[in-house]
Structure 1
């Protein structure tokens, strides 16, 4: 009952934000902007987005291999694409992460805690890369764009990343938090995950590579937004996108909407307004970038229906 209510609440938040945005920016304007877009800029943005997802897949592949979990790369990439599809229909990225954890756990006949540890570390390294790009962008771009709210948000994100790192790698810090978990079974499962993530301390090369890949991915994602903006006739400095896109990504990762819809779009309209981009164009940029994810999600859906599901039936 609680799960149903929570899911309905997220649907309501998603629908409410989208209705509000469409009320401010009529659909006709959005469609007109998209139809007038430069196809080649959009194609370049999509191809870059696809390549970035290959990099994210590679990061997960390295993390699994670092714990001795070997999966045939095409099979693992299929699981990753399927998770993208479930990210579109479940709250934020949590649903997709659960799907790929269970899928690879069944495929390898390994306990799910080891797989989930790689997924958790995959996400945390992603946020570490996000904060890294944001800090460097602010360091080089503070003269171009100096906004106290962005600096505050960066500090909060850095704090959260440090907390998650402490949970994964510090036994003492984890013990303090685990003591607050009232259910023994749940606490025991988290202890297994902590044991698996802590083991990565001996895999420093894997951790370094994960961080580098994450940083490159967020630079690339900012460039994807930049290319999309160019397709819509906007010519702004790349530094703005290197600052704004990590913030948009962080907000869209909050588990309060379906697939980040609504939240991502509202965040885009809000931050891009700071440099004078009209709401309808900011909304169009956000929707187009969701469209790239949607196309990859469709590939994942096809893979799930025609390959994974058929094998289990």
Structure 2
């Protein structure tokens, strides 16, 4: 690890730790509510865990749709296997070599085509940038009360608009012939943007495949929303209906991917306290919901351990994939 990477890692660890300390000072969290105290709560918690596990599988199916659209033939079970491995790395090894690096390097090894493998991972991520804002607007459209919640409504709409704006800028910047020629000259330093250009070049004539990617992405994001909703019931949160989850959970998911901490820890809990607070949910319960989701994600990540043990990736492949993604 370079000095720069180590410094970034320390900063991210510091941000997560600082946010958690602030939240625990600001909010009197009762850790007892994290443990279900009756059969009904246990059932909701198990359902939430099943949704988190299912979301990893659905993410692999979304990835499969991208692979097929880009003419990359790979078995679905391999993508599921790689997704769990990537989830484990993202959860337990807070380094610059994240889950996406594992996925790129392993898919490249499976197919012998790392450039296209890299493009599939980039586009699989970008598809979520389209679906998450749509979910926010759908949730707000379905419930008029959610459109007048002050900071929560403004925050969710802002997250959706900014996400769509950034996505539009990326598509405009990478989706034309001039940028393609320019990016080809700087392929090494702008690998991810060159991958976007290559993907757009292929997908612009495949509207049906694009529709399948977005549909699978919507199913995946819907499963994550359901996971949050089930987890809220296990804690006993009242006033957090499914339409509210549909509107605000995607906003939380957008915020938590910002490179401010490790695994969204602290960022996710603070965002939930903001959005759910306007619904009348106590701050301690909102923070507990974030910690519950984090714990369920950690448990789900354990399914990726066998993949890392029995299907090792060379250091060179990891370094090359990391260089493209960073």
Specify the TM-score bucket, using the shorter chain as the normaliser.
0.7 to 0.9
CA–CA distance in structure 1, aligned partners of residues 61 and 44 of structure 2: 26
Number of the residue aligned with 1:281: 285
Residue 70 (str. 1) matches residue 76 (str. 2): no
Please list, as runs of the form range in 1=range in 2, the aligned pairs for 1:91-106 lying within 5 A after superposition: 95-106=98-109
Number of the residue aligned with 1:302: 306
C-alpha displacement at 1:64, in angstroms? Answer: 1.0
C-alpha displacement at 1:3, in angstroms? Answer: 1.4
Q: Deviations over 1:137-193 (max 9, x none)?
A: 1222243432333323322122122223334533346678x59x9x67424774355
CA–CA distance in structure 2, aligned partners of residues 69 and 291 of structure 1: 34
C-alpha displacement at 1:130, in angstroms? Answer: 0.6
Please list, as runs of the form range in 1=range in 2, the aligned pairs for 1:1-313 lying within 5 A after superposition: 1-26=3-28, 29-36=30-37, 38-89=41-92, 95-110=98-113, 112-146=114-148, 147-172=153-178, 178=183, 185-187=188-190, 190-191=193-194, 194-236=197-239, 237-305=241-309, 307-309=310-312
Q: Which runs of 5+ in 1 are unaligned?
A: none
Q: How many residues align?
A: 306
Query: Are the structure 2 counterparts of residues 175 and 257 from structure 1 closer, same or farther at C-alpha, using a change threshold of 3 Å?
Result: farther
Query: Are the structure 2 counterparts of residues 239 and 94 from structure 1 closer, same or farther at C-alpha, using a change threshold of 3 Å?
Result: farther
CA–CA distance in structure 2, aligned partners of residues 222 and 21 of structure 1: 23
Q: Which runs of 5+ in 2 are unaligned?
A: 316-326
Structure 1 residue ranges (4+ consecutive) displaced by more than 4 angstroms after TM superposition = 89-94, 172-176, 187-190
Q: Is the 8 A contact 2:52 2:300 kept in 1?
A: no
C-alpha displacement at 1:80, in angstroms? Answer: 1.0
C-alpha displacement at 1:98, in angstroms? Answer: 1.5
For normalisation by structure 2, the TM-score amounts to 0.84
CA–CA distance in structure 2, aligned partners of residues 287 and 62 of structure 1: 32
Query: Are the structure 2 counterparts of residues 78 and 44 from structure 1 closer, same or farther at C-alpha, using a change threshold of 3 Å?
Result: same
* Cα-Cα RMSD: 2.7
For normalisation by structure 1, the TM-score amounts to 0.87
CA–CA distance in structure 2, aligned partners of residues 75 and 185 of structure 1: 28
Q: Is the 8 A contact 1:87 1:93 kept in 2?
A: no
